[in-house]
Amino acid sequence: MLSHDEYAAHDAVGLAALVRDGQATSADLVAAARARLVEVNPRINAVVTELDPPVRDPGASADAPFAGVPFLLKDLGQDLAGHPTSGGSRSMVDVPAVDNAEVVDRWLAAGLVVLGKTNTPELGAKGVTEPAAHGPSRNPWDLDRTPGGSSGGSAAAVAAGVVPCAAASDGGGSIRIPASACGLVGLKAGRGLLPVGPTVGETISGTTVDGVLSRTVRDTAAMLDVLAGASEVQPFLPAPPAESYAAEVGRDPGRLRIAVCSASRITPEVHPEAVAAVRRAADLLAAQGHDVVELDEQPVDDEALAQDFLTSWFVHCARSVADFRARSGAGDEGFEPDTLLMAALGRATSATDYVAAVENRHLHVRRLAAFHRDHDLLLTPTTATPPPRVGQFDLPAAAVLGQRALLRAKVAGLLRFTPLVQQLIRENLGWVPYTQLANLTGRPAISLPLHRTPEGLPMGVQLVGRLGSEGLLLRLAAQLEDAAPWAHLRPAL
């Protein structure tokens, strides 16, 4: 069997090459991944469902791009037929999925071997991964810290060396936030490029996309090639790239004009390490010959955008809770109080207010498009602070009791007409104010692990591009990876 050091020395592309060249078998890789999982999962709680035997596509060809490589699915939206997708909720832990999600079929066809499913907050609703159903995931770089969310379990598993890359999804930053917290690469593709289905044609009105968390840019690019292209149930037909995304890695991105901004109206006092992360990235970009300009404020009002984001989210949360109830028969005891409160706020939102929040996205799109006429990319911190401590956002016991009393009295929805929503913006988005922009506007964005705090905690920077700029983002990401390598860094776990 491969030792952990031998296994972890390769990314997913490298492990697939070992199998193709006969230097290792898929069984060797799976055994190494399982051994590492047994060693670290009790400490990081990244994987909440183990599949034994692991799931693979018997029809996948031996020369599939990732044939034999161990992989993990996120336990949210990535259905695997016959196995539960809990969505981090106690209500769904025993409800098996009927069909594979389209993205799962594509990962299996690529030859990946699914070992299990990773932890996520209930309904993916938070930037930390601490569901009541499975307990908190922990950051391999500091076990007292969060790995972020909602793809926190996947990020922790990759950072800890269980798998070279793992499935993720992003509806408001849920790929990029964990990438930043765990020192990984996280790309959110633009709207419509990646498949959905078979049960839905869009997820959260098109704001959510699937993807992966990885240690290397080439893994991210090759995984994008596996997924890119619409499914038959989608409302849009994306324009395919002229060549593969993998071919973009190593190409010269050309001389780019990149605007840098760490300011946020949601979080006026950004942590000095977030500012330092952006400054280091800006210096690296300038050293590569790019034109870097400073902005005093974001091109889109992030506080107004957050209001629209949460208005939409509350409504979709209400719909998701109703769906989980119908499928599982669960009552209120199947859900966390925070989730029930958000659902109540969604039910209290009028149809006109919801439509207005959706329509406001077009205003945000126009403003960002105007910015991109003069700038190729926007550079921001990925998060406004280092990864918070596990439990940092837990409500006091008295507040939880108050939530439950409001829910029992069925008046929680009236809180929408109080300052509660502004409070939720500050509390839930205060450390992650930058990422929702790409989701609501449908633009691609990538987080790169270019900074470490004095304590050794990773912090990423985010680059947001125009529609269709995934290839450019990958070219520039590879240039920065070459200038300031990160894949060799490992937590002392």
Q: Is 150 a catalytic residue?
A: yes
Strand partners, 379: 260, 463
Cβ atoms < 10 Å from Cβ of 74: 30
Which entry of 26, 91, 169, 174 is annotated as an active-site residue? 174
Residue with tokens 């969604």: 346
Start-to-end C-alpha separation, the chain: 21
Q: Is 174 a catalytic residue?
A: yes
User: How many angstroms separate the Cα of 3 from the Cα of each of 25, 162, 327?
Assistant: 14, 12, 43
Q: Is 410 a catalytic residue?
A: no
Which entry of 86, 89, 137, 150 is annotated as an active-site residue? 150
Indicate which residues carry an active-site annotation. 74, 150, 174
